[in-house]
């Protein structure tokens, strides 16, 4: 069949360029999920370019155009028929906003178990303080908590100078490091078939319950909420997620109801454990920053109501993030 090559190239080039642009987008973002209409258009352009290649092949003088079309058609064919797994491109944003919350939700039962264990400890600590005031020195062996709540509140509110002036960043990094160590320990103790993780969750609950009841019984509830909420609504869930990871590790070790070998169970659990503990680390970075730059400042410097509202807003956003973020996206 005789064709006018120049006119043919002129009329078809726009379709080749459109196909090339779609291929460029696919190759730049291999994890994208194109819509059906875009896929149909891509397939149509591929078939058209293939037909054009067949027509131009008969012209030995058009080697440059033929080479271009051969490359274009080969790339399109590869996109359509490729069966090998594409190289994964890590994106911190995608991991944090999609992978982390999805992993959290996929093991939600372990999280609620961690919450239940902590609440048992919270109840025990609260009862112990309310029944025996001398238990305070045993349950809360921390200098800042040994004085009576009203004395501490009075001391904090009358402070004339910024005790953290010039060292806020250092204090924040110390908090991040300490809390991250606790989170990693919570996970690592899963190697004790979960016993260590359970005990640490319970102990954390005991301390939290003892502190809370001590301040509430002394009439310092507003101070307690203003002090704990800004950083606690992030720090406490982060530690609970670390406990969740520790319980998952324990389940992989025990293997109840799972006939896979221990090595296989651990290998299968490893990605989710890494995701959870990495997410915990990021949450604790935020919590440490807030505790250093906001939680340590009380009235009259910062109104308690402002700190409480800020903490409640954080809790709402964290809840929405863990419950909704990443839904509807393919894993």
DSSP-assigned letter for residue 293:
I
pLDDT digits (tens, 9 = 90+) for 217-246: 999 999 999 999 999 999 999 999 999 999
Predicted confidence (pLDDT) at residue 321 exceeds the cutoff of 50: yes
Q: If 0-12 CB within 10 Å is exposed, 13-18 middle and 19+ buried, where does residue 134 land?
A: exposed
Instruction: Specify if 270 maps to a domain.
Output: yes
Domain match, 99 and 77 both: no
- Averaged pLDDT for residues 190-214: 96
Instruction: Specify if 330 maps to a domain.
Output: no
Domain match, 137 and 235 both: yes
3-class SS at 326?
Answer: coil
Q: Which of 171, 185, 183 is nearest to 282 (CA)?
A: 183
Cβ–Cβ < 8 Å for 208, 125: yes
Domain match, 68 and 151 both: no
- Averaged pLDDT for residues 297-314: 94
Which residue has tokens 């274009």?
72
Average per-residue pLDDT for the chain: 89
pLDDT digits (tens, 9 = 90+) for 150-162: 888 888 888 777 8
* Residue where a domain stops, chosen among 56, 81, 106: 81
pLDDT digits (tens, 9 = 90+) for 129-149: 988 877 777 777 666 667 788
Structural domain including 50 reads: 5-81
- Averaged pLDDT for residues 279-289: 97
Predicted confidence (pLDDT) at residue 213 exceeds the cutoff of 60: yes
* Residue where a domain stops, chosen among 81, 112, 138: 81
Position 328 confidence tier, pLDDT thresholds 50, 70, 90: low
What is the tally of structural domains in the chain?
A: 2
Least confident of 68-82, 85-99, 117-131: 85-99
pLDDT digits (tens, 9 = 90+) for 6-29: 788 888 889 999 999 998 888 777
**Cβ–Cβ contacts within 10 Å for residue 261, how many?**
10
- Distances 91 to 41, 49, 87, 275 between C-alpha atoms, Å: 28, 34, 13, 13
Domain match, 20 and 106 both: no
Output the six-digit token pair for 40.
Answer: 């149909």
- Distances 238 to 161, 182, 207, 245, 262 between C-alpha atoms, Å: 32, 10, 16, 11, 28
Domain match, 38 and 170 both: no
pTM of the model: 0.75
- Averaged pLDDT for residues 81-103: 78
What proportion of the chain, given as a percentage, has pLDDT over 90? 58
């Amino acid at each position: 069949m005789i064709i006018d090559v120049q006119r043919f190239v002129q009329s078809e080039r726009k379709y080749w360029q459109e196909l090339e642009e779609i291929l460029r987008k696919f190759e730049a973002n291999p994890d994208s999920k194109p819509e059906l209409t875009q896929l149909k258009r891509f397939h149509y352009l591929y078939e058209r370019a293939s037909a054009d290649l067949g027509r131009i092949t008969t012209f030995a003088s058009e080697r440059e155009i033929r080479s271009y079309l051969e490359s274009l058609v080969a790339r399109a064919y590869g996109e359509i028929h490729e069966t090998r797994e594409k190289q994964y491109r890590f994106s911190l944003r995608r991991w944090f906003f999609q992978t982390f919350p999805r992993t959290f939700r996929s093991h939600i039962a372990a999280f609620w178990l961690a919450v239940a264990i902590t609440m048992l400890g919270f109840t025990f600590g609260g009862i112990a303080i309310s029944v025996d005031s001398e238990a305070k020195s045993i349950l809360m062996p921390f200098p800042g908590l040994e004085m009576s709540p009203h004395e501490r509140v009075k001391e904090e509110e009358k402070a004339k100078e910024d005790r953290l002036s010039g060292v806020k960043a250092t204090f924040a990094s110390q908090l991040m490091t300490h809390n991250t160590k606790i989170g990693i320990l919570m996970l690592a103790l899963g190697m004790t078939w979960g016993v260590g993780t359970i005990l640490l969750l319970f102990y954390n609950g005991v301390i939290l319950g003892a502190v809370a009841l001590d301040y509430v019984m002394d009439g310092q509830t507003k101070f307690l909420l203003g002090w704990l909420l800004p950083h606690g609504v992030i720090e406490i869930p982060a530690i609970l997620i670390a406990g969740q990871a520790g319980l998952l590790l324990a389940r992989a070790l025990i293997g109840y109801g799972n006939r896979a070998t221990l090595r296989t169970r651990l290998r299968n659990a490893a990605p989710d454990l890494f995701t959870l503990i990495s997410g915990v680390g990021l949450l604790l970075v935020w919590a440490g920053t807030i505790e250093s730059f906001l939680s340590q400042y009380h009235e009259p410097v910062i109104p308690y109501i402002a700190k409480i509202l800020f903490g409640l807003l954080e809790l709402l956003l964290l809840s929405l993030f863990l419950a909704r973020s990443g839904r509807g996206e393919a894993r």
